[in-house]
Chain A
Amino acid sequence: MNSLFWERAHGGLTHFPIALIFAAAFFDALAFFGRLPTKQRDFKAVGYWLVILGALGSLGAVFSGLVLSKWTIGGTGAVLRHHLFVWPAFALIVGLAMWRFLVGDNPSRRAFAMYLATMFVGCALIGAAGFFGGEMLLGH
């Protein structure tokens, strides 16, 4: 396994949690703002599974990224900028998924609103981490 393998593996694996977490936030927002109770329940269930799968997927993305960077936690330049957003995003996503798993499918509206707001913060962090990751890949 050479570094090109890990570069490709990381490139592939990162897109799963990114897509899953963004989709989870989207469906949870639909559940929160939706009006039909049946639809709300369905959207909430979709958001529940997506955030859990996204958190599981983030483990693979982080592992492949660490191997690719030869276990660099911080780094310099674009790597550092990438990592400054990756670590908070990773911690946040794991925490959100755990909370959602433990609370189950029927949190109070106030708690769900807080969860949703935190999900959007997580999405912003993931987006920034992905942006700086892309910057590295594109050669600058």
Chain B
Amino acid sequence: MKNWSESKALLAAICTSGATLAVTLGIAWTMRQAPFSIWFPSIPTSAQAVTKPVQVAADAAQGRHLFLMNCAHCHAEDATGDEGPDLHNLHKSDARIHQVISAGIKGEMPSFGKKLGDPEIRQLTAYLRTLNS
């Protein structure tokens, strides 16, 4: 334990606090601007780069159909929410969305794990992603 004067320590603490916050936000901003994410590897091959958007669009279209059949009852046809919450601009990972659809939320949302398989849930997720503004 060091023993600086209290006012000098206060100045140092403010500087450290500000610098830590600035560095953290600076790193986040820099990483946000990066052309690809090193934490969520998703760099497509050249063949995938061509076919992926088409596949995603097809998945989303099928997902829309699944949504109307299974989810619109509670989340409304436009997914803006009714009995269930608004599903626009979801800040959740695909894995988390998959988990919620599959396992449900106790006391709030039924499980669809037995009714929908992995491909269907992936299609639903693709549709939900189209709801981001």
Enumerate chain A interface residues (CB-CB to B < 8 A): 1-4, 6-7, 48, 62, 66-73, 75-79, 87, 90-92, 94-96, 98-99, 101-108, 111, 136, 138-140
Q: Identify A79's interface contact among B10, B12, B91, CB under 8 A.
A: B91
Chain B residues, Cβ within 8 Å of A101: 1-2
By secondary structure, the B interface counts as: helix
Q: Identify B39's interface contact among A1, A4, A73, A92, CB under 8 A.
A: A1
Chain A minimum-CB-distance residue to B34:
A71
Which residues of B, 1-31, contact A by the 8 Å Cβ criterion?
1-4, 6, 8-10, 12-14, 16-18, 20-21, 24-25, 27-29, 31
Q: Are B4 and A6 neighbours in the complex by a CB distance under 8 Å?
A: no
Chain A residues, Cβ within 8 Å of B95: 2-4, 7
Q: Are B96 and A91 neighbours in the complex by a CB distance under 8 Å?
A: no
Verify if B85 is at the interface (C-beta below 8 Å from A): yes
Please give 13 more A-B residue pairs, beta carbons under 8 A apart, in addition to A4-B93, A94-B17, A99-B9: A3-B94, A3-B96, A7-B93, A66-B27, A73-B28, A76-B91, A91-B21, A94-B21, A95-B17, A98-B17, A102-B13, A103-B4, A104-B2
Most buried by B among A1, A6, A66: A66
Q: Identify B37's interface contact among A70, A102, A106, A140, CB under 8 A.
A: A70
Chain A residues, Cβ within 8 Å of B21: 87, 90-91, 94
Q: Identify B91's interface contact among A4, A77, A96, CB under 8 A.
A: A77
Q: Nearest 5 A-B pairs (CB), nearest first?
A: A95-B17, A3-B93, A99-B13, A102-B9, A4-B95
Please report the C-alpha to C-alpha distance between residue A66 and residue B25 in the assembled complex, in whole angstroms. Answer: 9
Q: Identify B3's interface contact among A62, A104, A139, CB under 8 A.
A: A104
Q: Are B85 and A96 neighbours in the complex by a CB distance under 8 Å?
A: no
Q: Identify B32's interface contact among A70, A78, A79, A91, CB under 8 A.
A: A70
Q: How far is the CB of B125 from chain A (nearest CB, A)?
A: 12
